[in-house]
Structure 1
């Protein structure tokens, strides 16, 4: 399939994403200006968003990575969240911001926040590119959010469909036709 010729329903354009990330970066910079900030990116989905976000933050920032698993190859979460690769360093003395691509059921973010709280950071908050509150299974509202979206399966800008489409520079809705 030639992705150059594919027509998708674009939910968040490149320009909208760029503008919103600059706003989030400015807000996070202000909120953490007198603190020791550590950003933890949840791989793999958040890697593009997190890279752009930390470049928009104008204060010193330490970056760590975690890998979790809850989806496998399915279109919805299994409900079981597993930490596949944990942060390497100590969180003590840091104000932690966990960055993810999307929060829908909120099971992953809830699990990660609780897991990281046990490592004694000064504070811990969450930042997501996309929030899909209609699918919540646990009560959680991201502290920083790029866009609130409808209950659609999405891909692009780091979010995958199968093993592909993370490289698309915008977020689009995956239709039944795309799944063929």
Structure 2
């Protein structure tokens, strides 16, 4: 899905497909260097990180296993509720492994802070975060993010895995919706 398929629902494009791809190339190169010779497991956070996980993992120059978790703190709204629910847990044992959480966006930081604590308590050697987007102005807790694609303003965004009420995830760019689309 591209901008022309939005039928006027998109207010602004913040990041193009090309910008996202270039930044993922840079992030992958740094991950390759940082984790050389280490037992790395990528953990994607469903559903938003599907695109980031696919694109980032294909840019790595090594075979790397993946696992998935589904956690939620949004529901169908536009702001994080702060209450984290596990919807799908890992299939892998992470004891003694280096875990890199792959996320689409860090908003309040509440979900990621909880997730880092949860995975660390399972005996991982290390737990780090790679996120396509971060909203520094929305942070409610400090979360150490090792790899950040882009810092963006505190606006509700869609595309590249990010949704509004399960819509617009497959938009190839990251942008903002017109306020009338979600009644803001």
Scaled by the length of structure 1, the TM-score of the pair is 0.95
- CA–CA distance in structure 2, aligned partners of residues 65 and 150 of structure 1: 28
Q: Are the equivalent residues in 1 in contact too, given 2:80–2:107 (CA < 8 A)?
A: no
- List aligned pairs for 1:25-174, cutoff 5 A: 25-174=28-177
Q: Are the equivalent residues in 2 in contact too, given 1:37–1:94 (CA < 8 A)?
A: yes
Task: Give 5+ residue unaligned stretches, structure 2.
Answer: none
Aligned residues: 179
Partner secondary structure for residue 134 of structure 1: helix
- CA–CA distance in structure 2, aligned partners of residues 149 and 16 of structure 1: 13
Q: Are the equivalent residues in 2 in contact too, given 1:37–1:60 (CA < 8 A)?
A: no
Task: Give 5+ residue unaligned stretches, structure 1.
Answer: none
Equivalent residue, structure 2, for 1:179 = 182
Q: Are the equivalent residues in 2 in contact too, given 1:35–1:95 (CA < 8 A)?
A: yes
- CA–CA distance in structure 2, aligned partners of residues 141 and 148 of structure 1: 14
Q: Are the equivalent residues in 1 in contact too, given 2:133–2:152 (CA < 8 A)?
A: yes
Equivalent residue, structure 1, for 2:21 = 18
Partner secondary structure for residue 109 of structure 1: helix
- CA–CA distance in structure 1, aligned partners of residues 6 and 78 of structure 2: 24
Give the C-alpha shift of residue 9 in structure 1. 0.6
Moved over 4 A (4+): none
Give the C-alpha shift of residue 119 in structure 1. 1.0
Deviates more, 1:37-46 or 1:159-168: 159-168
Q: Provide, for residues 18-45 of structure 1, a one-character-per-residue CA deviation record: whole Å limited to 9, x for no partner.
A: 1011111111011001101100000000
Q: Provide, for residues 108-163 of structure 1, a one-character-per-residue CA deviation record: whole Å limited to 9, x for no partner.
A: 11111100011111111001110001111111131101000001100001100112
Give the C-alpha shift of residue 4 in structure 1. 4.7
The alignment's C-alpha RMSD in Å is: 1.3
Q: Are the equivalent residues in 2 in contact too, given 1:26–1:57 (CA < 8 A)?
A: yes
- CA–CA distance in structure 1, aligned partners of residues 178 and 108 of structure 2: 20
